[in-house]
Amino acid sequence: MANGGYAVAPSQAVNLPKIIVVSGAGSKDADGVYNSSSKEYCDAPVYEHESRGQYLKITREPHKNPKTGAIKHGWLLGQNNKPLYGAPTQSLVVPSSGWKKFGGEEPLPIVKTYGNVDELFYSEADDCRTSGDAAVEQEDWQLALSHFTAGVAALKKASDCFAEGFTSRASLILSRRAVVNMRLKEPKSALRDAVAALEMDRGLSSAEDVAIEAMTDIGFQDQRTIQKILEPIGSGRILDPGAPLILRCIDRWVGEVVDNYLNAEVSDSQLPLPTHMPSDRYLDGLDEETRQAVIKHYIPEQQFGGTGIVSSASECLDLMKKWEEVFAGAEFQAKRKALWDRPMSYPARIQETRTVVAESLTGILEPMGFASGRPGLSRIVKQMQVFWSSDKACANKALDLEEMADVSLADLE
């Protein structure tokens, strides 16, 4: 096997496979993913094992016939410069068949090639979907869930989440997982997956059918309500466009729909706004307790205000309209009047008002990711101040709220 003398891979090697996957070899060290390196030998790339590249390589090697002097080539999979398996061929592409045993053990390796790393992840996702479909046929719902979840995990590693190969696979796997979640009596999870699938492919009728079934199972009976909920799905706003398979944003949206919209009349209710949090991407896969522990540890706030974000003037205005409904309600106005009936200093009144406002807005703030009580209120007010000073509609609405609450909104921070 070549010991050195590698050169930088030539431009003509651009269309050659970038990834080689070896599996099932009798010499288990040989199994794994081999990446095309910046080196080349005998006009072909040198492939190095992703974790043991210094010791495990696949290279194209020359062989000189001692009688004729003719030089032929073949591919060798070697460990520490000793050949384990080889395949005679003049091709510049690593072959999938024709491998023979040299210093390695039986059985011979299974070798697959991929044009790039995303093709590898697509292949993994396809295998998971096939296995999941087989489990569905056997009505092994838990096994099917495991396979489809593994397929989603494979696609999360892909680099281009806008490619058609990504979105078509992701929407199908999520739609299938939604069906499985319904069979497992998990309608909220089924609705989450169906919404995610429809966000990627609004024409996926199977996902819409599951979404309707899930909402009905949760308790939505009015078809007008169900159709109103379905209206914004497919716009791409509910998913995080930069990380569409991080589904916590959809979990939040579904939770708000169920909690705040289930028993509401269509004409009297606004659908919740989707919220995308940076922490979703960084803390994906952690349970809620671990997530909160990590966030509290690394966010330098004396009082943890949560992770919620108000990202635009329109979102700020929509939120203030919700606040307006709360402030106009009989319960809040009764508490406000009770405060004025109690003799206290102005600073004490401000403190008490903050507490009343925070408690009254908990149902709006907590589903968005803001902490309960005054820390969450302080965090959101600080963010909304940007739009109060830069957007006329937000500024006017802020004045309306101050009159209803008898407090400067800036004092709520």
Q: What is the pLDDT of residues 191-220, one digit of tens each?
A: 999 999 999 999 999 999 999 999 999 999
The dihedrals phi and psi of 88, each to the nearest 5 degrees, come to -75, 125
Range of lowest pLDDT (92-106, 194-208, 239-253, 367-381):
367-381
pLDDT confidence tier of residue 265, bands split at 50, 70 and 90: low
Return the pLDDT at 24: 95
The whole-chain average pLDDT of the chain stands at 86
Q: CA of 13: how far to CAs of 4, 18, 238, in Å? A: 19, 9, 41
Q: Give the pLDDT score at 8.
A: 45
Please indicate, yes or no, whether residues 130 and 272 belong to a single structural domain of this protein: yes
**Can you give the pLDDT at residue 411?**
67
Residues 43 and 88 in one domain: yes
Instruction: Show which of 115, 136, 169 is a domain's final residue.
Output: 115
pLDDT at position 87, please? 96
pLDDT at 11: 39
Statement to judge: residues 193 and 342 lie in one domain: no
Same-domain pairing of 96 and 27: yes
Query: Which structure tokens are listed for 184?
Result: 């497992």
Instruction: Supply the DSSP string of 103-150, one letter for each residue.
Output: SS-SSPPEEEEESSHHHHHHHHHHHHHHHHHHHHHTT-HHHHHHHHHH
In degrees rounded to 5, what are phi and psi of residue 96?
Answer: -90, -15
Residue ending a domain, choose from 92, 115, 138: 115
Residue 26, pLDDT score: 94
284 falls within a domain: no
How many beta carbons lie within 10 A of that of residue 397, not counting itself? 22
282: in domain: no
Please indicate, yes or no, whether residues 268 and 320 belong to a single structural domain of this protein: no
Same domain flag for 26 and 131: no
pLDDT for residue 247? 93
DSSP 9: P
* Domain of residue 242, CATH code: 1.25.40.10
Compute the 3-state secondary structure of the chain and give helix, strand, coil in percent, each to the nearest 5.
Answer: 50, 15, 35
pLDDT digits (tens, 9 = 90+) for 268-313: 556 777 877 777 887 887 777 787 777 666 655 445 677 788 878 8
7: pLDDT confidence band, cut at 50, 70 and 90? low
Q: What does each C-alpha distance from 194 to 144, 163, 184, 198 come to in angstroms? A: 16, 20, 15, 6
Instruction: For residue 330, give its domain range.
Output: 298-412
Whether pLDDT at 2 is above 80: no
Q: Are 272 and 373 in a shared domain?
A: no
pLDDT value at 388 more than 80 = yes
148 and 78 within one domain = no
How far apart, in whole angstroms, are the C-alpha atoms of residue 301 and residue 283? 19
> What pLDDT sits at residue 9?
47
86 plus 40 within the same structural domain? yes
Residue 287 lies in a domain: no
Give me the number of domains the chain comprises: 3
Lowest mean pLDDT among 227-241, 283-297, 309-323, 373-387: 283-297
CB 228 within 8 A of CB 264: no
In a domain, 166, yes or no: yes
User: Which of 86-95, 162-171, 250-259 is predicted least confidently?
Assistant: 250-259
In a domain, 261, yes or no: yes
pLDDT of residue 403: 82
Judged against a pLDDT cut of 90, whether residue 261 lies above it is answered with no
Residues 237 and 386 both lie in one domain: no
Report yes or no on 288 lying in a domain: no
Give the residue-averaged pLDDT of 213-229: 91
pLDDT at 15: 78
pLDDT at 366: 86
Q: Are residues 170 and 234 in the same domain?
A: yes
- pLDDT value at position 268? 55
Residue 143 covered by a domain: yes
Task: Check whether 93 has a pLDDT greater than 90.
Answer: yes
Residues 311 and 401 reside in one and the same domain: yes
End-to-end CA distance of the chain: 69
Cα–Cα dist 172/204, whole Å: 8
Q: Looking at 276, 311, 337, which one is the last position of a domain?
A: 276
| 87 bridge partner residues | 75
Measured CA to CA, the distance from residue 79 to residue 104 in angstroms comes to: 9
The residue whose two tokens read 């024709």 is: 98
Domain-located, residue 187: yes
